[in-house]
Amino acid sequence: MLTRTIGRYLSWPVDRLAALLAPTGIPPNVITWSALVLNLWAGILFAAGRFATAASLMILAGLCDLLDGPVARRQGRVSLFGGFLDSILDRYADLILFLGVLVFYARVNRFLDAVVAGAAMAGAVMISYAKARAESLVPRSDVGFWDRPERIVLMILGALANKMPVALWILAIGANITVIHRIFHTWKQTEGRAPSPSTGPETAHGTAPVEMNSPLEMPKRRPILTRTAGRGG
């Protein structure tokens, strides 16, 4: 997947940059919040039609996403809350970016493009929710291609190349296909299995009590994620 490829090529420079930042004492959560602020700025620029500048800010925000984890590890500030906060702010960032694009197309009366942007936004949110919800039932449900790094890279490319409608169509279709893939994968994994007593009727047939990135969802089923950089979902 693109996530692993990006991580492999960027691991050394990100680690070197984290080594420079860590001694400054900057809290990792400040880096996490900085990514959200940059994405908020990018969303505003999208709404104003300044796509190339918005893409540049998305690149900076992505760098912050990659740095908060390594900085936390070097400072000995790894925490469960750090990973949780990063996951929540990533979801807000996704919504802000797509909302900015949607507002622009609505403002210039390109109704179809606005609808496609809304479909892409829904797919981005549901990919993360489907993974988190499924992994309260099965050990892993990270099938499919369109995790967050892939979505962000495609949005950046679409903005820089002035081909955002094409990127939105790919995201609207691809992201929702990934959601369907995860539904099918979870169904195959749970077929014929009765809910465990710890699952409870609400979790088995109702809504999940919490919504967050999957690595924190079930700490008893998999190693605890404290803080990682550039999580998808």
Residue 200, pLDDT above cutoff 80: no
pLDDT confidence of residue 95: 96
The CB-side HSE value for 184 (13 A sphere, CA atoms) comes to 8
Burial of residue 191 (CB within 10 Å: 0-12, 13-18, 19+) is exposed
Measured distance CA(101)–CA(7) in Å, rounded: 27
Give me the sign of the Cα torsion angle 58, 60, 66, 72. Answer: negative
Give the model confidence (pLDDT) of 163-188 as tens digits: 999 999 999 999 999 999 989 988 88
CB–CB of 159/54 below 8 Å?
Answer: yes
Among residues 35, 133, 128, which one has the least CA distance to residue 82?
35
Average model confidence (pLDDT) across the chain:
82
Residue 220, pLDDT above cutoff 80: no
Q: What is the dihedral of CA 38, 41, 42, 43, to 10 degrees?
A: 120
| Domain range annotation of the chain | 2-188
Q: How many CB atoms lie within 10 A of CB 205?
A: 9
Give the model confidence (pLDDT) of 109-119 as tens digits: 999 999 999 99
Residue ranges of the alpha helices (H) in the chain? Answer: 2-21, 28-48, 51-75, 80-107, 111-134, 148-160, 164-190, 200-205
What value does the mean pLDDT take over residues 193-215? 48
Q: How far is CA 172 from the centre of its chain?
A: 15
CATH code of domain 2-188: 1.20.120.1760
Residue 201 binned pLDDT confidence (cut-offs 50, 70, 90): very low
If residue 219 lies in a helix (H) or strand (E), which one and from where to where? none
Residue 2 binned pLDDT confidence (cut-offs 50, 70, 90): low
pLDDT confidence of residue 15: 86
